[in-house]
Structure formats: C-alpha cells, structure tokens
C-alpha cells in the first residue's frame, strides 16, 4: 500500500501558538489575556502594547525562559496522538513557517513532544513542498495551495482567525481530521 504524504502545519494546528505567547506575555507584563481574546491573524498587534509585529518578534526571540517562544508552545489536545496513529499508515510531513531564530527550537520542540515526522520543511512558500494533503490554519497558505497546487487536498483547521477557503475541506477537530484522512483513496502524487 502506498502512503500519502500528509503536510501538517505546526502553529495553530499542532502547537498552540496563541496560548503559548499569551502565557509568556501574561507572565512578563502582568496581564490577563486569554486565548479566547484571539479572533484575528496578528492578534499580538491588537492585544498587546507592542508598537508593531517586529517588536513582538523581538520579544518572542527569548521569552521562553531564554529560549524562543517556539520552544515552549503547548500542543493542542489530540494532536500528537492522532499524528502517531496516522503515521502508522502515512508519511507525516511537517510544513511550517518560522523566523530564523526559531529553527533550532522548532526541531527541539518536535523532539520534546515526540511529534512523528518523515520530513520537516521550514519554508515561506508551502506550495513548494511535495505533499498530497495540507492541514493548515493560515488563510494565505490555504489560498496559495488551493490556487497553485490543485493536486493537493487542502484542509482548513477552523480557527477564529481564518475564513472558509474555496476548494478546502473544513476540519474542526483532530478526530475529524483522522476520519477524513482514513476515508481518502490512496493515490498519492509522489
């Protein structure tokens, strides 16, 4: 049986980026932000005192007790377990975008949380990665892949900061994603 190449985004899908930065921000600035406050992309710009996202990223570089924010992110419930089950029958291809300062911390985070993967691609343009399916939460990635890679099945992990994307299948939970993948015909592009 041929395996599908499942392209899995990290932040907002496997790693709870927003809970991670909120926990660090509340600790560092004595605030009481909550993850429910986040309803749009670039929420730190609107919910914090950072003048621009560059200031946020400067802070994120070492806000994780000397590590970058990307080293201390919690996982979403069900993500790791589901990926392990899917990895028994498919290739898990991590497809994520990170600032340069977070690359080493991303690899350490993947190991710390025992995230199964066949490959890791840290790229700005996710259309360049050889995958059969993409699970992502960022509107710009969803739109780019549905537009430029019609050979790729696209799943939008529904979050308050994204919108329906024509050509993408909406996913609300990891259990729903696993059911969706298990129902796919095995006809990989690779």
Residues 6+ apart with CB under 8 A from 186: 1, 2, 3, 4
What architecture is domain 5-16+75-183? 3-Layer(aba) Sandwich (3.40)
121-142 tens-digit pLDDT? 999 999 999 999 999 999 999 9
pLDDT of residue 1: 57
Residue 185 — very low, low, confident or very high, per pLDDT cuts 50/70/90? confident
In this predicted structure, what is the pLDDT of residue 188? 46
Q: How far apart are CA 52 and CA 71, in angstroms?
A: 22
Q: Give pLDDT, residue 190.
A: 45
Average pLDDT, the chain: 95
Question: Is the predicted pLDDT of residue 186 greater than 90, yes or no?
Answer: no
Q: pLDDT tens across 19-74, in order?
A: 999 999 999 999 999 999 999 999 999 999 999 999 999 999 999 889 999 999 99
The pLDDT tens digits of the residues spanning 137-175 come to: 999 999 999 999 999 999 999 999 999 999 999 999 999
The CA-based diameter of the chain, rounded to the nearest angstrom, is: 54
> Comparing 80-84, 93-97, 182-186, which segment has the lowest mean pLDDT?
182-186
pLDDT at 11 over 70: yes
> Exposure of 155 by Cβ count < 10 A (0-12 exposed, 13-18 middle, 19+ buried)?
buried
pLDDT score for 189: 47
């Amino acid at each position: 049986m041929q395996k599908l190449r499942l392209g899995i985004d990290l932040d907002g899908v496997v790693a709870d980026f927003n809970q991670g930065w909120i926990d660090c921000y509340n600790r560092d600035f004595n605030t009481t932000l909550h993850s429910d406050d986040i309803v749009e992309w670039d929420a730190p710009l609107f919910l914090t005192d950072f003048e621009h996202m560059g200031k946020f990223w400067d802070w994120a570089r070492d806000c994780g007790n000397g590590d970058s924010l990307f080293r201390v992110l919690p996982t979403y419930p069900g993500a790791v377990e589901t990926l392990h089950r899917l990895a028994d029958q498919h290739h898990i291809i991590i497809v994520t975008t990170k600032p340069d300062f977070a690359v080493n911390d991303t690899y350490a985070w993947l190991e710390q949380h025992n995230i199964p993967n066949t490959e890791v691609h840290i790229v700005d343009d996710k259309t360049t990665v050889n995958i059969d399916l993409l699970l992502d939460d960022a509107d710009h990635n969803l739109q780019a892949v549905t537009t430029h890679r019609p050979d790729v099945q696209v799943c939008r992990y529904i979050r308050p900061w994204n919108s329906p994307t024509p050509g993408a299948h909406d996913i609300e939970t990891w259990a729903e994603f696993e059911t969706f993948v298990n129902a796919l015909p095995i006809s990989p592009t690779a």
